Chains A and B, each alone.
Chain A
Amino acid sequence: MPPKAQISPVNTQLFDRYQPLPGVPDELVDANGVMRPAWAGLIAHMSSQTPDEIAGSFARGDQHLADAGVFFRKYGDKTIATRDWPFSPVPILLPETEWREIEAGLIQRAELMEQVVADLYGPNRLVAEGHLPATLIAQNPEWLRPMVGVVPRSGHFLHFMAFEIGRGPDGRWWVLSDRTDAPSGAGFALENRVATSLVFPELYRQTNVHRLAGFFRSFRDALDKLRQDPASRVGILTPGPLTDTYYEQAYIARYLGMALLEGEDLTVENGQLRVRTVRGLAPVDVLWRRMDGVWADPLELREDSQLGTPGLMSAVRQGNVTMVNALGVGVLETQALMAFLPKICRVLTGKPLSLPNVATWWCGQRPELDHVRANAARMMIGPAMSTRMPYETAATHAIGGQMRGGDGEMGDDADLHDWLTDNAAGLMGKELVTLSTTPAYENGALVPRPMTIRVFLAQTAQGWQVMPGGFARIGSSADTTAISMRHGGAVADVWVVSDDPVEPVTMLTPATAPFQRAQTGPLPSRAADNLFWLGRYTERSEGLLRLVRAYNSRLDQGVSGALLPSLRNWLKTYYVDVSETLPEGLSSTLASAVYSASQIRDRFSVDGWAALKDMEKSMARIAKTVKPGNDAALVMSVMLRKIAGFSGLVHENMYRAAGWQFLTMGRSLERAAMMADLLAVVADPASPEGGLDLAIEVGDSIMVHRQRYSLITSRETVIDLLALDEANPRSIRFHLDVIRKLVDDLTVDPAGQMNDFQRRVLALQTALALHSVSSLDTKALRQVHGQILDLSLALNATFMN
């Protein structure tokens, strides 16, 4: 190894030119402009690099995030479109001593929250004794009446929380918002950490940065301990791929080895929660809930919920499932609650809040309303029951006395006055917070940008544990009011720096424990269904590409006669219109494949996903330029190579478990069905001339045919090679053999009893094996085609419980 390069400051300008904003606390420098000690290593490191080197380092982080496919959905955007993760590579460094104070304050707050919520669903002392207005609870959409009187099985309502904190003008940390219902971001914090450690690999190793893995390990262990059925696996309950943080949920499920489940994956039987899997119903009794509580059960909560599981609330009531967190804890996120928490803390614990929250006034009380009215210029005013900051809501709100949102009309002072009077009980005012700044790297320089930090807490065997770090949101401009955060900005890692070396932690079990091969849980039926259809749609895309290519190349060669019109008509049954150069039916088939894959990203390799997305992008690009005939044929060849790349990735790399089996069955079933269908059209004695050669070409079997038979195709040679040959991976027989083998592997019934699907596969495979080239006529081909398609229904009935 070469000796370590001497750090030579090539960019002394980097720090010297950093200009904190006047009167605003800054993370990098103190009030006297002196660098805070925790940052020294990072600034020295960055100063030793040229701008090009810095750009190169940053590119490593971006590359990682792009390769990993990190994205998030824009809030409120209900399309599949996603946004890249706006990563800011410069971390925020906090000394451990300061972090300990934050930790203690947040643990106190978490414990207080638990007491408050236990009271709100239990004895209701806080309301009865006048510490909390009854209106705030009775009119709160997050106070879930079915939960009243329910005591959580685990003894706790809260197991995992997040707090948004910021540093105020006096240098103290403030709690800006409480995230209790289904807090997101822990997985993003982890991905940020990976990316940042790739940007600064040496520095990260040399700096005593507290690692995050220990926190996740403790949390995972705590969740495992909450299980009562040792045969069950902990699940993560997701609202599904259309949610803004789906990527993160899939990521954390993979990272922690938990099942990612949608409401539809679950069912309740005799008060017990179960997962529908391809092997029947499997137990699950701990759910880390990433779905907002109100959607969880259409029977007892929001009746219009498409995401929930009927009966879930009943299973909770009967004490058969632990929800992390309990349903109904969303009530703690109520903005107006912050007005009462400081006093409630003193009442319940005898102590003040050690980390204050943003000063808040509920306008349902006369003196508070008057105060908010008089100080509107220094406040944000918005819905009292909202769980979001006023500027994050679509509802009418006022910032610094200016009305916004709602119907979009800007009000004047008189409107503000009337609005407050008419809606007092539904409104609250909050001090307009200003935030500290932290350095962000823009155009070769460090510039101060406002920031907030999201900190995560987990209930473990040792009580509440705080993730040493978190993820920071960084404003996009120098505006230091908290509202600048609504424009998005960037995200950065948070390093908690110790004076002493930190212990490395991994998710692995200690080496002293004997090795145990982990069991994968049974495959949820919905995932199996999506994998099966992913197999079918990619195979159908390939088949259609081959057919459209064959059509276009013949078009260019000026082939005349009845063949092309008959092919054109037949392709219409697959919704492909070859008069379009790039048929819409082709791209929509591929889009269906991508959609199926997007439903199961937690089970899908990153490379496979990238290959699939790449195909979709190429298809969209090509669609704009392609010309009919030879050009289209060439383009189809390019697409075929891409699809082969995807299939190769899947078949070379995918773990041979139930997931792969369903994907492969889908592929084989589709290929066999399309071939039977094609042969029925082109290999009939009455079919137009040229059809047999076309079938051999589409079946990619020209070389074999030439070697085995002759240059001349006949109905016999074609049927033999493409329907009955058990060694040709393009033949119907070959794929029925594949399906038969797979279904035998999938269905291991100790008593040897066959299920309906198995029976049908066996019958069909045997029937085909007994056919000869003469008995497999067009009528028989059509029958085989229908029977193959029926297998799809039988598979559904057998495995999709």
Chain B
Amino acid sequence: MIYDIKLRISYDYARPAVNGRHLACMMPLDVPGVQKVVAGLLDISPRPNERVDRLDFFGNRVTEFAIRAPHSKIALNLQSRVERLAPVPRAEGSSLADLPGIFAQSAELGPNAPLHFLPPSVRVPYNPAMSAFAREHLQASMSVEQAVYAIGHALHDYMRFDAKATTVDTPAAEAFELRLGVCQDFSHIMIACLRGVGIPAGYVSGFLRTLPPPGKPRLEGADAMHAWVRAWCGPQIGWLEFDPTNDKQADADHIVVAYGRDYSDVAPIKGNLRGSGRQKSKQAVDVIPVV
């Protein structure tokens, strides 16, 4: 599938901000065999005094920018054309029991090395309850891939999607207790579950093509940024992407923006502001299939 993607994120400040420095991470990623970025443009207003586009440790495309003069609004506009390939059928993967031996032999530290995604991270601390939940749904004979699906399905049954119950800063543990949340919560919880049983797992931020109800037109800007999970299933399969919010493997409807250990590695925009008051943020996304 080829998509035209538009993302607009804006922040309104109650009091003008000065000397804002931010890190944006919203440009879709080139992933060989998974997706190809045909074109991409990120426009920032007001025009930044400084702007540096580069890759971060995980290979994500980030933009650091600074706006010095007092400003009461920041808007980021992304336009991109992306070709997303459908996932190919996989080879026979490793079994759960194989993983510790594989890690002990591993001498890899590159951006996609599974070892980065095994320990707790800032937003996904070790959580005994989630580990126990994951363990309940496993059988010793399972392959890693089967384990990922089993945990994903179980979680989807256990949690209910609720856009109001949590915010971007709600800890995963709280969402798990509430059994409510959005894609960010579903993903963090699933990552904790997977790591808790020894499966390397990371956070994927991106876009999801949503289909309008039958007979209704697609509403402009109605989509939102999405998040799902990737799990490492052994050297034969490598990384498998799973969307716990929708209980399915990520497919040609999922467009990848960034890979990280959790949300804090790939937040679409980061940055402190000196002396600013309250702020309001808005987000609008369009994912339009071209072909």
Contacts and interface: CB of A to CB of B under 8 A. Distances in A.
Interface of A: 124, 127-130, 133-135, 137-139, 145-146, 148, 267-271, 298-300, 302-303, 310-311, 314, 364-365
Contacts of A133: 104
B66 A148 contact: no
Contacts of A127: 107, 109
B119 A134 contact: no
Contact of B52 (A124, A130, A139, A314): A314
B116 A310 contact: no
B106 A135 contact: yes
Contacts, number: 66
A310 B67 CA distance: 13
B211 to A, nearest CB: 35
29 contacts: A124-B109, A134-B107, A134-B108, A134-B109, A134-B115, A135-B103, A135-B115, A138-B109, A138-B118, A139-B119, A145-B57, A148-B57, A267-B19, A268-B21, A268-B66, A270-B49, A270-B50, A271-B50, A298-B272, A299-B21, A299-B23, A299-B64, A299-B272, A303-B122, A303-B270, A310-B21, A311-B21, A314-B64, A365-B104
A137 B109 CA distance: 8
A267 B56 CA distance: 22
B235 interface: no
B264 interface: yes
Contacts of A298: 272
A796 to B, nearest CB: 10
Contacts of B103: 135
Nearest to B68: A269
B23 A139 contact: no
Interface in B62-94: 64, 66, 68
Contacts of B52: 271, 314
A355 B113 CA distance: 35
Size class of B's contact patch? 20 to 34
A128 B107 contact: yes
B40 interface: no
A166 to B, nearest CB: 32
B289 interface: no
Contacts of A365: 104
Interface string B107-136: 111000101101100100000000000000
Contacts of B109: 124, 127, 134, 137-138
B46 interface: no
Contacts of A269: 50, 66, 68
B242 to A, nearest CB: 22
Contacts of B264: 303
Contacts of B272: 298-299, 310
A524 B43 CA distance: 35
A139 B115 contact: yes
B118 A139 contact: yes
Contacts of B58: 145
Given A299-B21, A303-B270, A138 B107 contact: no
B271 interface: yes
A146 B21 contact: no
Contacts of B119: 138-139
Contacts of B271: 299, 310
Nearest to B22: A299
A134 B106 contact: yes
A138 B122 contact: no
A139 B115 CA distance: 7
Nearest to A145: B57
A364 B103 CA distance: 10
Nearest to A131: B107
- Shortest Cβ-Cβ A-B pairs, 9 listed: A138-B115, A145-B57, A139-B119, A310-B21, A138-B116, A134-B106, A311-B21, A299-B23, A134-B107
A302 B121 CA distance: 11
Contacts of B106: 134-135
Nearest to A309: B21
Contacts of A314: 52, 64
B207 to A, nearest CB: 23
Interface string B221-235: 000000000000000
Contacts of B108: 134
Nearest to A365: B104
Contacts of A134: 106-109, 113, 115
